[in-house]
Amino acid sequence: MDYKQLAKTYETPLYIYDFNQIKKRYLELKNSFAGRKSLVCYAVKANSNLSLLKLLANLGSGFDCVSFNEVRRAILAGADRYKIIYSGVGKQDSEIKDAINANILMINVESSAELDRIEEIAKSLDKIARISIRVNPNIDPKTHPYISTGLNENKFGVNINEAKKMYIKAKNSQFLNPIGIHFHIGSQLIDIMPVHEAAQIVSNLMRELKALEIDIKFFDIGGGVGIRYKDEKNVDLYEYAQGILSALKGQDETIVCEPGRFIVGESGVLLTKVLYEKVNNDKRFVVVDGAMNDLLRPSLYGAYHEIEALADGLNLSKCDIVGPICESGDFLGKDRDMPELKSGDLLVVKCAGAYGFGMASNYNSRCKAAEVAIEDGKARLIRKREKFEDLVANEIEFIGE
Protein backbone atom coordinates (compact mmCIF):
# COMPACT_ATOMS: atom_id res chain seq x y z
CA MET A 1 0.00 0.00 0.00
CA ASP A 2 1.41 3.38 -0.93
CA TYR A 3 0.92 5.14 2.39
CA LYS A 4 2.98 8.14 1.32
CA GLN A 5 0.72 8.77 -1.63
CA LEU A 6 -2.39 8.28 0.51
CA ALA A 7 -1.08 10.75 3.09
CA LYS A 8 -0.40 13.24 0.32
CA THR A 9 -3.84 12.88 -1.22
CA TYR A 10 -6.00 12.64 1.89
CA GLU A 11 -3.75 14.09 4.62
CA THR A 12 -3.35 12.68 8.11
CA PRO A 13 -4.48 11.38 10.56
CA LEU A 14 -6.20 8.97 8.20
CA TYR A 15 -8.04 5.69 8.63
CA ILE A 16 -7.39 3.23 5.80
CA TYR A 17 -9.37 0.01 5.38
CA ASP A 18 -8.60 -2.96 3.18
CA PHE A 19 -12.04 -3.91 1.82
CA ASN A 20 -10.71 -7.08 0.16
CA GLN A 21 -9.52 -8.35 3.51
CA ILE A 22 -12.83 -7.46 5.16
CA LYS A 23 -14.65 -9.52 2.52
CA LYS A 24 -12.28 -12.39 3.09
CA ARG A 25 -12.82 -12.33 6.85
CA TYR A 26 -16.59 -12.28 6.45
CA LEU A 27 -16.50 -15.26 4.08
CA GLU A 28 -14.12 -17.23 6.30
CA LEU A 29 -16.50 -16.94 9.21
CA LYS A 30 -19.60 -17.62 7.13
CA ASN A 31 -17.94 -20.70 5.63
CA SER A 32 -16.94 -22.06 9.01
CA PHE A 33 -20.64 -22.79 9.56
CA ALA A 34 -21.08 -24.27 6.07
CA GLY A 35 -23.74 -26.94 5.88
CA ARG A 36 -25.73 -25.31 8.70
CA LYS A 37 -28.33 -22.58 8.60
CA SER A 38 -26.31 -19.59 9.76
CA LEU A 39 -26.45 -15.83 9.77
CA VAL A 40 -23.44 -13.61 10.33
CA CYS A 41 -24.68 -10.33 11.83
CA TYR A 42 -21.75 -7.92 11.72
CA ALA A 43 -21.56 -5.84 14.93
CA VAL A 44 -22.01 -2.32 13.59
CA LYS A 45 -20.44 -0.72 16.67
CA ALA A 46 -17.01 -2.00 15.64
CA ASN A 47 -17.01 0.29 12.62
CA SER A 48 -20.20 1.84 11.32
CA ASN A 49 -18.96 3.48 8.14
CA LEU A 50 -21.76 3.23 5.56
CA SER A 51 -19.53 2.07 2.71
CA LEU A 52 -18.17 -0.70 4.89
CA LEU A 53 -21.73 -1.72 5.89
CA LYS A 54 -22.71 -1.69 2.23
CA LEU A 55 -19.79 -3.95 1.34
CA LEU A 56 -20.99 -6.47 3.94
CA ALA A 57 -24.68 -6.10 3.05
CA ASN A 58 -23.81 -6.94 -0.56
CA LEU A 59 -22.19 -10.14 0.63
CA GLY A 60 -25.42 -11.08 2.41
CA SER A 61 -24.36 -10.13 5.91
CA GLY A 62 -26.85 -9.31 8.62
CA PHE A 63 -26.23 -6.65 11.26
CA ASP A 64 -26.15 -6.51 15.04
CA CYS A 65 -27.09 -3.01 16.19
CA VAL A 66 -27.04 -1.37 19.62
CA SER A 67 -29.01 1.78 18.95
CA PHE A 68 -31.80 2.54 16.55
CA ASN A 69 -29.44 4.85 14.72
CA GLU A 70 -27.24 1.84 14.01
CA VAL A 71 -30.33 0.08 12.65
CA ARG A 72 -30.89 3.11 10.43
CA ARG A 73 -27.29 2.96 9.23
CA ALA A 74 -27.71 -0.71 8.33
CA ILE A 75 -30.94 -0.02 6.43
CA LEU A 76 -29.36 2.95 4.66
CA ALA A 77 -26.49 0.73 3.58
CA GLY A 78 -28.94 -1.69 1.96
CA ALA A 79 -29.25 -4.38 4.64
CA ASP A 80 -32.15 -6.81 4.53
CA ARG A 81 -34.41 -5.92 7.43
CA TYR A 82 -34.98 -9.56 8.28
CA LYS A 83 -31.26 -9.84 8.99
CA ILE A 84 -31.09 -7.01 11.53
CA ILE A 85 -30.91 -7.61 15.28
CA TYR A 86 -31.29 -4.83 17.80
CA SER A 87 -29.55 -5.39 21.16
CA GLY A 88 -28.57 -3.12 24.04
CA VAL A 89 -29.13 -2.82 27.73
CA GLY A 90 -30.91 0.55 27.69
CA LYS A 91 -33.25 0.99 24.76
CA GLN A 92 -35.48 4.04 24.80
CA ASP A 93 -39.23 3.82 24.17
CA SER A 94 -38.92 5.64 20.87
CA GLU A 95 -36.18 3.24 19.76
CA ILE A 96 -38.31 0.20 20.66
CA LYS A 97 -41.24 1.66 18.76
CA ASP A 98 -39.09 2.39 15.72
CA ALA A 99 -37.57 -1.10 15.83
CA ILE A 100 -40.99 -2.77 15.91
CA ASN A 101 -42.21 -0.57 13.06
CA ALA A 102 -39.04 -1.23 11.05
CA ASN A 103 -39.91 -4.94 10.99
CA ILE A 104 -36.40 -6.14 11.76
CA LEU A 105 -35.60 -9.77 12.58
CA MET A 106 -35.70 -9.44 16.37
CA ILE A 107 -35.14 -7.26 19.39
CA ASN A 108 -32.73 -8.71 21.89
CA VAL A 109 -34.13 -8.23 25.40
CA GLU A 110 -31.83 -7.56 28.34
CA SER A 111 -34.18 -7.42 31.36
CA SER A 112 -37.63 -8.35 32.49
CA ALA A 113 -38.60 -4.68 32.83
CA GLU A 114 -37.60 -4.19 29.21
CA LEU A 115 -39.71 -7.17 28.16
CA ASP A 116 -42.74 -5.53 29.80
CA ARG A 117 -42.00 -2.28 28.03
CA ILE A 118 -41.66 -3.97 24.64
CA GLU A 119 -44.96 -5.76 25.19
CA GLU A 120 -46.74 -2.49 26.09
CA ILE A 121 -45.31 -0.72 23.07
CA ALA A 122 -46.16 -3.59 20.70
CA LYS A 123 -49.69 -3.59 22.11
CA SER A 124 -50.07 0.13 21.53
CA LEU A 125 -48.97 -0.41 17.91
CA ASP A 126 -51.12 -3.53 17.62
CA LYS A 127 -48.13 -5.46 16.36
CA ILE A 128 -46.21 -8.53 17.43
CA ALA A 129 -42.61 -7.93 18.48
CA ARG A 130 -40.19 -10.71 17.63
CA ILE A 131 -37.71 -11.06 20.45
CA SER A 132 -34.75 -12.99 21.75
CA ILE A 133 -33.52 -12.92 25.32
CA ARG A 134 -29.92 -12.31 26.27
CA VAL A 135 -28.90 -14.96 28.75
CA ASN A 136 -25.98 -14.31 31.05
CA PRO A 137 -24.40 -17.74 31.51
CA ASN A 138 -22.03 -16.56 34.27
CA ILE A 139 -18.89 -17.62 32.43
CA ASP A 140 -15.54 -15.90 32.78
CA PRO A 141 -14.37 -15.02 29.26
CA LYS A 142 -10.79 -14.36 30.43
CA THR A 143 -10.44 -11.05 28.66
CA HIS A 144 -9.98 -7.40 29.69
CA PRO A 145 -12.50 -6.60 32.47
CA TYR A 146 -13.88 -3.63 30.51
CA ILE A 147 -14.90 -5.88 27.62
CA SER A 148 -16.06 -8.86 29.66
CA THR A 149 -19.83 -9.19 29.73
CA GLY A 150 -20.88 -12.73 30.66
CA LEU A 151 -20.48 -12.73 34.43
CA ASN A 152 -23.14 -12.09 37.07
CA GLU A 153 -21.28 -8.92 38.03
CA ASN A 154 -21.77 -7.45 34.53
CA LYS A 155 -24.83 -5.41 33.59
CA PHE A 156 -25.74 -7.51 30.56
CA GLY A 157 -28.52 -10.07 30.10
CA VAL A 158 -30.46 -12.08 32.67
CA ASN A 159 -29.73 -15.31 34.52
CA ILE A 160 -31.13 -18.66 33.42
CA ASN A 161 -34.08 -18.71 35.81
CA GLU A 162 -35.11 -15.19 34.99
CA ALA A 163 -34.79 -15.99 31.28
CA LYS A 164 -37.09 -18.98 31.65
CA LYS A 165 -39.78 -16.88 33.32
CA MET A 166 -39.44 -14.25 30.62
CA TYR A 167 -39.81 -16.82 27.83
CA ILE A 168 -42.96 -18.20 29.42
CA LYS A 169 -44.36 -14.73 29.75
CA ALA A 170 -43.50 -13.94 26.12
CA LYS A 171 -45.07 -17.17 24.91
CA ASN A 172 -48.30 -16.26 26.69
CA SER A 173 -48.39 -12.73 25.29
CA GLN A 174 -50.34 -11.89 22.14
CA PHE A 175 -47.83 -9.16 21.38
CA LEU A 176 -44.52 -10.99 21.79
CA ASN A 177 -43.02 -13.77 19.74
CA PRO A 178 -39.88 -15.31 21.27
CA ILE A 179 -37.89 -16.61 18.30
CA GLY A 180 -34.30 -16.33 19.50
CA ILE A 181 -31.93 -16.98 22.37
CA HIS A 182 -28.75 -15.02 22.79
CA PHE A 183 -25.51 -14.78 24.75
CA HIS A 184 -22.33 -12.76 24.35
CA ILE A 185 -19.70 -13.19 27.03
CA GLY A 186 -17.04 -10.70 26.00
CA SER A 187 -14.77 -9.37 23.33
CA GLN A 188 -11.22 -10.09 22.09
CA LEU A 189 -11.48 -13.76 23.10
CA ILE A 190 -8.44 -15.79 22.15
CA ASP A 191 -9.35 -18.81 24.24
CA ILE A 192 -12.72 -19.89 22.85
CA MET A 193 -13.44 -22.60 25.42
CA PRO A 194 -15.57 -20.17 27.49
CA VAL A 195 -17.79 -19.55 24.44
CA HIS A 196 -18.29 -23.30 24.07
CA GLU A 197 -19.12 -23.63 27.77
CA ALA A 198 -21.62 -20.78 27.47
CA ALA A 199 -23.11 -22.37 24.34
CA GLN A 200 -23.58 -25.59 26.26
CA ILE A 201 -25.45 -23.86 29.08
CA VAL A 202 -27.65 -21.84 26.74
CA SER A 203 -28.30 -24.83 24.50
CA ASN A 204 -29.55 -26.80 27.52
CA LEU A 205 -31.89 -23.95 28.35
CA MET A 206 -33.14 -23.93 24.78
CA ARG A 207 -33.94 -27.64 25.01
CA GLU A 208 -35.99 -27.02 28.16
CA LEU A 209 -37.83 -24.20 26.42
CA LYS A 210 -38.70 -26.46 23.53
CA ALA A 211 -40.22 -28.91 25.98
CA LEU A 212 -42.48 -26.01 26.98
CA GLU A 213 -43.36 -25.53 23.31
CA ILE A 214 -41.40 -22.33 23.05
CA ASP A 215 -40.15 -22.56 19.53
CA ILE A 216 -36.73 -20.93 19.31
CA LYS A 217 -35.44 -20.55 15.76
CA PHE A 218 -32.23 -18.56 16.24
CA PHE A 219 -29.33 -19.54 18.47
CA ASP A 220 -27.23 -16.38 18.76
CA ILE A 221 -23.70 -16.90 20.05
CA GLY A 222 -22.73 -13.21 20.12
CA GLY A 223 -19.40 -11.91 18.88
CA GLY A 224 -16.03 -11.79 20.58
CA VAL A 225 -13.62 -13.72 18.33
CA GLY A 226 -10.24 -12.16 19.04
CA ILE A 227 -7.55 -10.97 16.65
CA ARG A 228 -3.80 -10.67 16.65
CA TYR A 229 -2.72 -7.29 17.99
CA LYS A 230 0.70 -8.50 19.11
CA ASP A 231 1.51 -12.15 19.67
CA GLU A 232 -1.95 -13.61 20.36
CA LYS A 233 -2.61 -16.91 18.66
CA ASN A 234 -5.14 -16.94 15.84
CA VAL A 235 -8.52 -18.35 16.77
CA ASP A 236 -9.19 -21.53 14.81
CA LEU A 237 -12.58 -20.89 13.22
CA TYR A 238 -13.15 -24.57 12.51
CA GLU A 239 -12.71 -25.36 16.19
CA TYR A 240 -14.89 -22.40 17.12
CA ALA A 241 -17.73 -23.58 14.91
CA GLN A 242 -17.39 -27.26 15.83
CA GLY A 243 -17.63 -26.45 19.55
CA ILE A 244 -20.87 -24.60 18.94
CA LEU A 245 -22.30 -27.42 16.85
CA SER A 246 -21.43 -29.98 19.44
CA ALA A 247 -23.08 -27.84 22.16
CA LEU A 248 -26.24 -27.86 20.07
CA LYS A 249 -26.25 -31.65 19.91
CA GLY A 250 -28.39 -32.03 16.85
CA GLN A 251 -30.76 -29.11 17.53
CA ASP A 252 -31.01 -27.40 14.19
CA GLU A 253 -31.73 -23.73 14.87
CA THR A 254 -30.12 -21.12 12.66
CA ILE A 255 -26.79 -20.18 14.24
CA VAL A 256 -26.36 -16.43 14.47
CA CYS A 257 -23.01 -14.84 15.29
CA GLU A 258 -22.20 -11.17 15.82
CA PRO A 259 -18.55 -10.58 14.97
CA GLY A 260 -17.20 -7.05 14.91
CA ARG A 261 -13.49 -7.00 15.58
CA PHE A 262 -12.78 -10.25 13.72
CA ILE A 263 -14.18 -8.83 10.48
CA VAL A 264 -12.67 -5.35 10.50
CA GLY A 265 -9.95 -5.13 13.18
CA GLU A 266 -6.90 -6.29 11.27
CA SER A 267 -8.17 -4.71 8.04
CA GLY A 268 -7.69 -1.14 9.19
CA VAL A 269 -4.78 1.13 10.07
CA LEU A 270 -4.49 4.64 11.36
CA LEU A 271 -1.91 6.61 9.42
CA THR A 272 -0.37 9.46 11.36
CA LYS A 273 2.42 11.94 10.76
CA VAL A 274 5.29 12.90 13.02
CA LEU A 275 5.15 16.52 14.16
CA TYR A 276 8.14 16.71 16.50
CA GLU A 277 10.57 14.73 18.51
CA LYS A 278 11.33 15.87 22.02
CA VAL A 279 13.32 14.67 24.98
CA ASN A 280 12.29 15.50 28.54
CA ASN A 281 15.27 14.71 30.71
CA ASP A 282 16.02 11.19 29.48
CA LYS A 283 12.62 10.38 28.12
CA ARG A 284 12.07 10.45 24.36
CA PHE A 285 8.70 11.44 22.95
CA VAL A 286 7.53 11.35 19.36
CA VAL A 287 4.63 13.77 18.96
CA VAL A 288 2.29 12.82 16.13
CA ASP A 289 -0.83 14.35 14.61
CA GLY A 290 -3.07 11.41 15.63
CA ALA A 291 -4.34 11.33 19.19
CA MET A 292 -6.60 9.64 21.72
CA ASN A 293 -9.60 11.32 20.14
CA ASP A 294 -8.79 9.38 16.95
CA LEU A 295 -7.87 6.06 18.57
CA LEU A 296 -8.93 5.74 22.19
CA ARG A 297 -8.04 2.10 22.80
CA PRO A 298 -4.48 2.62 24.09
CA SER A 299 -5.62 5.30 26.56
CA LEU A 300 -8.80 3.58 27.68
CA TYR A 301 -7.72 -0.05 27.92
CA GLY A 302 -3.94 0.18 27.78
CA ALA A 303 -4.43 -1.67 24.48
CA TYR A 304 -1.39 -2.50 22.38
CA HIS A 305 -1.33 -1.50 18.71
CA GLU A 306 1.77 -2.24 16.69
CA ILE A 307 3.26 0.94 15.22
CA GLU A 308 5.47 0.85 12.17
CA ALA A 309 7.62 3.80 11.15
CA LEU A 310 7.91 4.49 7.43
CA ALA A 311 11.35 6.00 7.84
CA ASP A 312 14.83 4.83 6.99
CA GLY A 313 16.50 6.15 10.12
CA LEU A 314 18.67 3.75 12.07
CA ASN A 315 19.55 3.98 15.76
CA LEU A 316 16.48 2.49 17.33
CA SER A 317 15.66 3.77 20.75
CA LYS A 318 12.69 3.61 23.08
CA CYS A 319 10.07 6.32 22.97
CA ASP A 320 6.45 7.08 23.74
CA ILE A 321 4.32 7.99 20.74
CA VAL A 322 1.97 10.69 21.88
CA GLY A 323 -0.70 12.95 20.42
CA PRO A 324 -1.31 16.69 20.76
CA ILE A 325 -4.10 16.41 23.35
CA CYS A 326 -3.65 17.97 26.77
CA GLU A 327 -3.77 14.71 28.73
CA SER A 328 -0.93 12.52 29.92
CA GLY A 329 -3.12 9.59 28.88
CA ASP A 330 -2.93 10.72 25.27
CA PHE A 331 -0.62 8.14 23.76
CA LEU A 332 -0.77 5.65 20.91
CA GLY A 333 2.15 3.56 22.09
CA LYS A 334 4.58 3.43 25.01
CA ASP A 335 8.18 2.29 25.18
CA ARG A 336 8.43 1.48 21.50
CA ASP A 337 11.66 1.06 19.61
CA MET A 338 11.68 3.66 16.87
CA PRO A 339 14.38 4.97 14.55
CA GLU A 340 15.27 8.64 14.59
CA LEU A 341 12.27 10.43 13.16
CA LYS A 342 11.78 13.80 11.61
CA SER A 343 8.79 15.98 11.05
CA GLY A 344 6.64 14.59 8.24
CA ASP A 345 7.64 10.93 8.66
CA LEU A 346 4.68 8.59 8.67
CA LEU A 347 3.71 6.03 11.31
CA VAL A 348 1.24 3.22 10.66
CA VAL A 349 -0.81 2.19 13.67
CA LYS A 350 -1.97 -1.36 12.97
CA CYS A 351 -5.15 -3.28 13.74
CA ALA A 352 -7.17 -0.10 14.04
CA GLY A 353 -10.17 -1.11 11.93
CA ALA A 354 -12.36 -2.05 14.90
CA TYR A 355 -13.34 0.36 17.67
CA GLY A 356 -11.06 2.97 16.14
CA PHE A 357 -13.03 5.56 14.21
CA GLY A 358 -16.21 4.37 15.95
CA MET A 359 -14.90 5.53 19.33
CA ALA A 360 -13.40 8.74 18.01
CA SER A 361 -14.47 12.05 19.52
CA ASN A 362 -14.01 15.76 18.99
CA TYR A 363 -12.12 16.28 22.26
CA ASN A 364 -9.98 19.43 22.17
CA SER A 365 -12.14 20.50 19.21
CA ARG A 366 -10.22 18.19 16.97
CA CYS A 367 -11.87 17.26 13.72
CA LYS A 368 -12.44 13.56 13.13
CA ALA A 369 -10.09 11.92 10.64
CA ALA A 370 -11.00 11.02 7.07
CA GLU A 371 -11.59 7.38 6.11
CA VAL A 372 -10.40 5.72 2.93
CA ALA A 373 -11.18 2.29 1.49
CA ILE A 374 -8.77 0.30 -0.65
CA GLU A 375 -10.46 -2.21 -2.91
CA ASP A 376 -8.85 -4.08 -5.78
CA GLY A 377 -5.87 -1.77 -5.59
CA LYS A 378 -7.91 1.43 -5.80
CA ALA A 379 -8.36 3.99 -3.05
CA ARG A 380 -11.57 5.91 -2.45
CA LEU A 381 -12.63 8.36 0.19
CA ILE A 382 -15.50 6.94 2.27
CA ARG A 383 -15.73 9.73 4.86
CA LYS A 384 -14.56 13.29 4.48
CA ARG A 385 -12.27 14.80 7.04
CA GLU A 386 -14.32 16.96 9.39
CA LYS A 387 -13.96 20.73 9.24
CA PHE A 388 -14.28 23.43 11.86
CA GLU A 389 -17.73 24.25 10.45
CA ASP A 390 -18.88 20.70 11.22
CA LEU A 391 -17.78 21.10 14.82
CA VAL A 392 -19.83 24.22 15.43
CA ALA A 393 -22.78 23.55 13.15
CA ASN A 394 -25.15 22.62 15.98
CA GLU A 395 -24.18 25.60 18.13
CA ILE A 396 -23.83 28.49 15.77
CA GLU A 397 -27.49 29.53 15.73
CA PHE A 398 -27.49 29.80 19.55
CA ILE A 399 -24.76 32.41 19.87
CA GLY A 400 -26.28 35.38 21.66
CA GLU A 401 -26.27 38.89 20.27
Helix ranges restricted to H, 44-111: 50-58, 68-76, 93-102
> For residue 328, with 0-12 CB atoms within 10 Å meaning exposed, 13-18 middle and 19 or more buried, which class applies?
exposed
State yes or no: 260 annotated in a binding site: yes
Q: Which stretch binds ligand LLP (CB under 6 A): 76-84, 172-180, 183-191, 209-217?
A: 183-191
Nearer to ligand LLP, 10 or 229 (CB): 229
Candidates 114, 119, 258, 371; binder of ligand LLP (CB under 6 A) is 258
Least separation in angstroms between CB 296 and ligand LLP: 8
Nearer to ligand LLP, 173 or 187 (CB): 187
Q: Where in 216-245 is the site for ligand LLP (CB under 6 A)?
A: 222-225
Cβ 225 vs Cβ 189: under 8 Å: yes
Length of the chain: 401
Residue 355 found at the interface with ligand LLP (CB under 6 A): yes
Residue whose C-alpha is closest to residue 214's, from 181, 183, 250, 184: 181
State yes or no: 329 annotated in a binding site: no
Residue 25 found at the interface with ligand LLP (CB under 6 A): no
Catalytic pick from 41, 326, 351, 367? 326
Candidates 22, 46, 209, 341; binder of ligand LLP (CB under 6 A) is 46
State yes or no: 355 annotated in a binding site: yes
Report the DSSP pairing between strands 268-280 and 346-349: antiparallel
Angstrom distances, CA of residue 322 to CA of 115, 151, 328: 46, 35, 9
The residues near 165 (Cβ < 8 Å, ≥ 6 apart) are 112
Residue 147 found at the interface with ligand LLP (CB under 6 A): yes
The residues near 81 (Cβ < 8 Å, ≥ 6 apart) are 75, 102, 103, 104, 105
326 included as an active-site residue: yes
Q: Catalytic residue numbers?
A: 326
- Would you list which residues are annotated within the binding site for pyridoxal 5'-phosphate? 224, 258-261, 355
Residues lying near ligand LLP in the complex (CB under 6 A): 43, 46, 64, 87, 147, 184, 187-188, 222-225, 258-262, 297, 354-355
